[in-house]
Structure 1
């Protein structure tokens, strides 16, 4: 009996082992989408992890109105301009990211934006990208000392130039019209300035009458401005006439690591290609396809020789002010010259006291530190060597206690036939916001 029982148990155990060996093993799915099979070294890959790590949006939603920053996806920089009264030491930005990406510091976490703040975005696959964030304050809306109008009067006519600013004291319009309201020729002598959401000047349009001895025509001068990393890098000027003909010119700026302009490149539709290089606050060289330039140790042009052989020679005084320009023909004969006198005392004319955001604050002069001109006289010299004065202009300025121009008297004489005809005008400045 015991033998039979043992045989029965052995048969049952053998059957169970047989069934177990025939059972299929289910695969195991691990987090992240990979699949492994027990007893096997095979790993099957599922969904690829995302490498997206761009900042898609950056704004200060707690401010009124909401301030949306500008994101440069190429330079990996973010810039924003907030109201002048904003406490930038504890601003909390709202940051938009791709799905499954994270950022440090986090969205909604207050930061001190009185200095540049860096943000690191981490993608799902572990790769990272760093962004630099710069926050600027808009100019204060309190009054600044500025010119609001310049009124000119003479014995025969007069003019009035007005300057209009917006709530942030940015220049938005400059207009010149006849003081008597008869604006037949200069009613459209108006410049309109346009800014983007960050306060950068993007466009200026000047409409004006261009007069010649035979006729006059309305022209439009449009300048567009481009910026990179908060600095102006390019301007493009297009001049269009009523008939539709136009000309254009472009100026590009390059900067050193301190933010100073070290190169200026000028091109035009007329074929000009000219590059001026700067170092240590001075112009060091000018190369052009239309002329050859010689510069002195002050960085000022002392001679220009054009490709047609004509030339001009420039002289300066000890203060670096231009005093004489002499003109020569291709044979070397002197054809005329102009003498200059400048105002000794530096007087201000704050028509745009805040300047334009992102524009070079200083750009070294290449033709002298002239300031306001006090006197200018033109002479011509004929083939026989006879010298004739063709024009003489003078400016006599009166300053106020703040060092601004209060008024000036402009006297101009020009040759008509064999005699000089003289006219005088007085220009008076009106200010606001000055203490």
Structure 2
């Protein structure tokens, strides 16, 4: 596995898939006073479908559709994600991924099997994931997964295959709060790594990363359960939060010079991630879905901008605004996105559907 992901990338993911369940990064949605070990969802509403249709930003169009299917017991048993990108100048990329979940007689999910294909004019990539889930004292204790990637390059006719293995262990304090998450990773391309997340009273307190047999790196500064700084050689990233623990600014520094920043603001309504079906799975800690490195994400982003500082000039790379429509539970059913991407107009609209949300 790579190092814990740079929040710059996380912020862009959060922007592009703002608070909808399957594609959202794992971020916490608890307030200062709440323990992040809480497993009861904040709402009875559960995610059913989300679609996005967008234009601009360098493409003719981009569309995605994600849906969850539930069995007669109300358990998530299948998820389907589809997307299509149409490029300026011709050509397109299509992707389809399907996951199937199995449960034991006690209602614990025991496995996930996922197959995915992505195809464009240059290559076809297939990958398959198999995950097994183990429990101890009614809590998720271990997740063992194997992913096989196969890429076929159309110009050469060559095929490349590699395997990625991941073992995640969850440890708890005596009262049931999360104590530690350990991720052990191995790739057939070479290289092992380990990421460890430590918690105190259910709140994140430390993150370490180790590549192979190298030293354990402790590059993150944690305060009140959130990352506030990350160092990587001469690069420093600083994260700033508002009074509700929501990430509002990311600053990028190199050798003591500010090189860029990203700003975002929120409303006070519930975000769709609060309806994630993973939050309803028996025995799963909230940190399995919403880990908590970057604060409270229980609300919706209403604007976002990303600036690169080039000499004495501030160059705007991304600027977006969201406008929402809500259901009677105060959760978005529609989100309109307008703005620019790399100086080009970009517009899109998300549509959300839920169950048990009357």
Matches within 5 A, 1:34-113: none
Question: Offset of 1:236 from its aligned partner?
Answer: 3.1
Question: Offset of 1:154 from its aligned partner?
Answer: 4.2
Aligned to 1:429: 352
Aligned to 2:321: 394
Higher strand share: 2
Matches within 5 A, 1:269-348: 269=186, 270-288=191-209, 289-296=216-223, 298-306=224-232, 308-329=233-254, 331-348=255-272
Give the Cα separation in 2 of the matches to 1:210 and 1:394: 30
Candidates 14, 38, 47, aligned match of 1:147:
47
Candidates 228, 232, 247, aligned match of 2:164:
247
Which runs of 5 or more residues in structure 1 are unaligned? 1-143
CA contact (8 A) 2:184 2:195 kept: yes
1:209/1:392 Cα in 2 relative to 1: closer, same or farther (>3 Å)? Answer: farther
CA contact (8 A) 2:93 2:121 kept: no
Higher normalized contact order (CA 8 Å, seq sep 6+, divided by chain length): 2
Aligned to 2:185: 268
- State the TM-score, normalizing by the size of structure 2: 0.68
CA contact (8 A) 1:176 1:186 kept: no
Deviations 1:291-337 (A, max 9, x none): 422112x221111112x4433111111111111112233x3433322
Matches within 5 A, 1:73-222: 145-154=45-54, 156=61, 158-177=63-82, 185-209=93-117, 217-222=125-130
1:376/1:290 Cα in 2 relative to 1: closer, same or farther (>3 Å)? Answer: farther
Give the Cα separation in 2 of the matches to 1:213 and 1:272: 34
The reply on whether 1:373 has 2:331 as its aligned counterpart is no
Q: Helix, strand or coil for the counterpart of 1:188?
A: strand
Question: Offset of 1:145 from its aligned partner?
Answer: 4.5
Aligned to 1:403: 330
CA contact (8 A) 2:84 2:94 kept: no
Give the Cα separation in 1 of the matches to 2:217 and 2:137: 33
